[in-house]
Amino acid sequence: MTEMLRILLVLPMYGGSLPVGRYCGNALRELGHVVEYFEAPDFFGAFSALKTLRVGTDRLDYLENSFLQVVSQAILAKVETFAPDLVLAMAQAPLSRQALKRLRRDKVPTAMWFVEDREVFPYWKAFAPLYDLFAVIQKGDFPRQLADLGQTNSLYLPLAADPGVHRPLELSAVERRKYGSELSFVGAGYPNRRLAFRRLAGHDLRIWGNDWDGETALAPYLQREGARIETEEVVRIFNATTINVNLHSSVRPGTLVGDGDFVNPRTFELAACGAFQLVDRRALLPELFDEGELALFSDVDGLLDSVEFYRAHPEKRAEVAARGRARVLAEHTYAHRMRTLLRHASELMPGREIPVDDWRSRIAPHLRDEVEVLLLNLQLAPTVSFEDLVWTLRSREGSLTRLETAILFLDEWKKLYTGHRPGK
């Protein structure tokens, strides 16, 4: 697809799909599209404050619903102004059913990337039929279930990595001491992880992340008292660790390992960092990675055996890590995923009727180089329309340069004097 699209990316207010949404935005921009975020996290503080009111549950329910309606209205207002070719919502995006119906009525294509476990988050059943495209990270009978609910346009779209974020780092000795260990795990303290990792006690182990409350056996290994770790530091931990343990979460009692199909983002992120990981076998892993691109285990005993083996074989670790990274860069980046998603969504998007306007040819010669540099800095294709350039400039933070101001001025001037009103 070569056409430049306007995409409104609706982020969730919080949660695991929030960083994934940002990676999608990075990728879409890298592909040359104009991306506008709906920054739902900015609303989360006010939403959370409702829960501190000490009012009746019926009142709280009413207030929360009312608040979310306002947030949905804000998204609709943004759609009206930005006139996107596609609204891409991440799991838990605060788009109400009413708002989704409105978008459908207005013929604004919508897509959801549901990057959650369908069994843990069953609310998808109420929302899936209201999206025009529903992308998921699981297979099995999921497409059929979606079709039964009326969502026939589903797409399997596994998670991925953002090479601009998840990358090998040269760490200083201080950083290695701060973040490094022989074994580490970054993530939430799901029950299966708590039980499995007790078997690692005695190793040089560090556990990073939240939701480990009350886990006394692993308390000596828990870092920063279970505080949430920001992505930038997570990448440093991945890079500083000899063996990254990647055990997928499970909420099913009694099952510690090997309980699911989807592959978590950590698998792709660790590989993209060129970091070595031991990851539990998943039903969907073989179609994503070949033998030798990841080191796998099937149960806790296997994990312990692998730890012992790879501790002793640094060259094997390096070989697997390098192959894993190569595979991710070749096939499993968010740019790959967004390209796939847009290909599937293309039939939903009739294409904007942009009048042919070779605006660049009318720029005074002495400004052309400066405009080229500007487009480059904004990651915009040389074929970008004047309207998309204007929109991108408007969303910039801080004071604008003289050239940027002059471009926005020209846009307003055209609206005043030529009656030309791009977009809405």
Which of 150, 254, 416, 424 lies at the binding interface for other proteins (CB under 8 A)? 416
Rule CB under 8 A: is residue 398 a binding residue for other proteins?
yes
Considering the complex, what minimum distance in angstroms separates the CB of residue 418 from other proteins? 6
125 binds other proteins (CB under 8 A): no
**What residues between 203 and 232 interact with other proteins by CB under 8 A?**
none
2 sits near other proteins (criterion: CB under 8 A): no
Distance, CA of 251 to CA of 154 (rounded, Å): 26
- Binding window for other proteins (CB under 8 A); candidates: 119-127, 166-174, 230-238, 410-418: 410-418
Q: How far apart are CA 417 and CA 408, in angstroms?
A: 14
Verify binding: residue 62, other proteins, rule CB under 8 A.
no
Q: Does 410 bind other proteins (CB under 8 A)?
A: yes
By CB under 8 A, tell whether 360 contacts other proteins. Answer: no
Cβ 283 to other proteins, closest distance in Å? 44
Stretch that binds other proteins, among 90-98, 101-109, 141-149, 357-365 (CB under 8 A): 357-365
Query: Would you count residue 378 as binding other proteins (CB under 8 A)?
Result: no
413 binds other proteins (CB under 8 A): yes
Cα–Cα distance, 192 to 205 (Å, whole number): 17
Least CB distance to other proteins at residue 402 (A): 4
Contacting other proteins (CB under 8 A), which of 149, 414, 422, 423? 414
* Interaction between residue 70 and other proteins (CB under 8 A): no
Angle at 327 between CA 325 and CA 329, to 5 degrees: 70
Q: How far is the CB of 388 from other proteins (least distance, A)?
A: 13
411 binds other proteins (CB under 8 A): yes
Report the distance separating Cα 319 and Cα 334, nearest Å: 24
Measured CA distances, 127 to 83, 90, 96, 276, 408 (Å): 23, 12, 9, 38, 39
In the complex with other proteins, the residue whose CB is nearer, 172 or 417, is 417
Looking at 16-24, 26-34, 204-212, 399-407, which segment touches other proteins (CB under 8 A)?
399-407
Write each residue from 306 to 345 as x if it is in contact with other proteins (CB under 8 A), else as -, in one continuous string: ----------------------------------------
Residue 401 found at the interface with other proteins (CB under 8 A): yes
Query: From CA 355, how far away is CA 349, in angstroms rounded?
Result: 17
Of 353, 377, 418, 424, the residue at the interface with other proteins (CB under 8 A) is 418
Q: Are 348 and 109 in contact (CB under 8 A)?
A: yes
Q: Residue numbers of the site for other proteins (CB under 8 A)?
A: 362-364, 366-367, 391, 394-418
